[in-house]
């Protein structure tokens, strides 16, 4: 009986993956190329995929950070920005960018667009899929380029690499530390919670589900189960058969979600430093509530709005000032595993 249930479950997941592939094929019609430099992509290039809207203030530092890390080519979807984001991206020599005015929500919150571009341009490549406020940190990132990590993952037969989303924040109210275009956001928001996290396992996809941190204790104090998920799988050796199913929290086939060791060992993992809790959040909250394009009726943004008016201070007894990846490993927030 158990094996029969397992076969039925596997069939259900294969069907779900095929439906996702069909969705992204249909949604390709939403996308209009503005600058297509994908012919420049070489067979061993490492790619970055991101869906953005009105993020021009963040993009100079974002591009600089990831170029230094080792990204060779960027794939962007611009969801109808009106702040100069699209024009800025179209001027970059290593960026291909598509524009869409279509519904972010109807495109499964942008995932259908990402899945289409990944299927078309990222097959066989290592690709990092991140938001413009997420900054990838991995073991030895201060001394080894991203290609050192991907080469090691190739050598060990690993196809996906997991991270924890680590919300960063300033010491005082976010309104008191304005962010300027081109600035390293962690100059003004260098703090994070060293503890206060809960982990469970998603029974459908087999991925870990992590919640907690400053957004949970500040915005979801009375409803911690509604707090944003902090588990992400952003780095994948892509295959055209793969699909993201829930942001970058989970993928199909399910084996890609096994970025942890169930037998007591420790797999290598990283972190995404999350520069969301800076003074630009207030403007973003107002914009997104007006658009109504986010998950669960933009409930997350409604929770932000309810508290931001009170000028909240995120710093608390769990706060640690970020130093480097080794600090995160000591705190148990990431691991170098057996990568020496």
Q: Give me the percent of the chain exceeding a pLDDT of 90.
A: 81
| pLDDT at residue 282, rounded to an integer | 84
Tell me which of 147-151, 199-203, 239-243, 264-268 is least confident.
Answer: 264-268
Q: How far is CA 285 from CA 86, 94, 248, 300, 305, in A?
A: 21, 30, 21, 9, 7
The span from the CA of 201 to the CA of 258, in Å, is 11
Tell me which of 69-73, 289-293, 312-316 is least confident.
Answer: 289-293
- Assess contact for 169 and 151: CB atoms under 8 A: no
| pLDDT at residue 3, rounded to an integer | 47
Q: Please give the order of strands across the beta sheet that includes 95-99.
A: 32-35, 95-99, 73-78, 47-52, 126-129, 231-237, 160-167, 270-274, 134-137
**Residue with tokens 């037998």, as numbered in its chain:** 263
| pLDDT at residue 150, rounded to an integer | 98
Could you report the per-residue pLDDT of 87-138, keeping only the tens digit for each?
999 999 999 999 999 999 999 999 999 999 999 999 999 999 999 999 999 9
| pLDDT at residue 291, rounded to an integer | 76
| pLDDT at residue 299, rounded to an integer | 73
* More confident position, 284 or 104: 104
| pLDDT at residue 230, rounded to an integer | 97
DSSP structure class, residue 228: P
| pLDDT at residue 99, rounded to an integer | 98
| pLDDT at residue 2, rounded to an integer | 45
Q: Does 165 score more than 80 pLDDT?
A: yes
Strand pairing category for 32-35 and 95-99: antiparallel
pLDDT band at 293 (very low <50, low <70, confident <90, very high): low
Q: Give me the percent of the chain exceeding a pLDDT of 70.
A: 95
Could you report the per-residue pLDDT of 306-325, keeping only the tens digit for each?
788 889 999 998 899 999 99
CB atoms within 10 A of CB 130: 20
Tokens of residue 211, six digits? 């919640």
Largest CA distance in the chain: 61
Residue 271 backbone dihedrals phi, psi, to 5 degrees: -145, 155
pTM passes above 0.85: yes
Q: What average pLDDT score do residues 286-290 get?
A: 80
The span from the CA of 44 to the CA of 47, in Å, is 9
CB atoms within 10 A of CB 216: 22
CATH number of 2-330: 3.90.550
Could you report the per-residue pLDDT of 22-70, keeping only the tens digit for each?
999 999 999 999 999 999 999 999 999 999 999 999 999 999 999 999 9
Q: Which of 221, 225, 226 is nearest to 310 (CA)?
A: 221
Burial class (CB in 10 A: 0-12, 13-18, 19+), 51: buried
């Amino acid at each position: 009986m158990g094996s029969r249930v397992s076969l039925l479950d596997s069939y259900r997941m294969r069907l779900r993956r095929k439906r996702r592939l069909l969705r992204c094929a249909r949604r390709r019609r939403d996308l209009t190329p503005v600058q297509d430099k994908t012919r420049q992509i070489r067979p061993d290039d490492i790619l970055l995929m991101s869906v953005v809207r009105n993020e021009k203030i963040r993009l100079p530092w974002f591009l600089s950070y990831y170029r230094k890390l080792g990204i060779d080519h960027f794939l962007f979807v611009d969801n109808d920005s009106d702040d100069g984001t699209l024009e800025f991206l179209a001027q970059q020599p290593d960026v291909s960018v598509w524009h869409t005015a279509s519904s972010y929500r109807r495109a499964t919150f942008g995932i259908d667009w990402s899945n289409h571009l990944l299927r078309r341009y990222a097959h066989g490549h290592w690709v990092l899929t991140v938001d413009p406020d997420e900054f990838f940190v991995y073991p030895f990132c201060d001394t080894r380029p991203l290609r050192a990590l991907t080469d090691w993952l190739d050598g060990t037969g690993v196809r996906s690499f997991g991270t924890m989303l680590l919300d960063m924040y300033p010491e005082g109210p976010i309104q008191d530390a304005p962010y300027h275009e081109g600035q390293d956001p962690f100059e003004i928001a260098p703090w994070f919670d060293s503890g206060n996290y809960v982990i469970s396992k998603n029974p459908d996809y087999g991925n870990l589900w992590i919640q907690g941190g400053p957004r949970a204790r500040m915005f979801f104090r009375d409803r911690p189960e509604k707090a944003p998920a902090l588990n992400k799988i952003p780095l994948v050796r892509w295959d055209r058969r793969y699909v993201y199913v829930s942001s970058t929290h989970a993928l199909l086939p399910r084996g890609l979600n096994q970025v942890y060791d169930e037998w007591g060992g420790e797999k290598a993992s990283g972190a995404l430093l999350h520069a969301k809790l800076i003074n630009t959040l207030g403007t973003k909250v107002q914009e997104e509530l007006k658009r109504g394009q986010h998950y669960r009726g933009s409930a997350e943004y409604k929770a932000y709005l309810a508290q931001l008016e009170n000028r909240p201070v995120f710093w608390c007894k769990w706060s640690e000032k970020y130093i480097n990846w080794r600090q995160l490993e000591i705190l148990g927030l990431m691991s170098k595993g057996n990568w020496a």
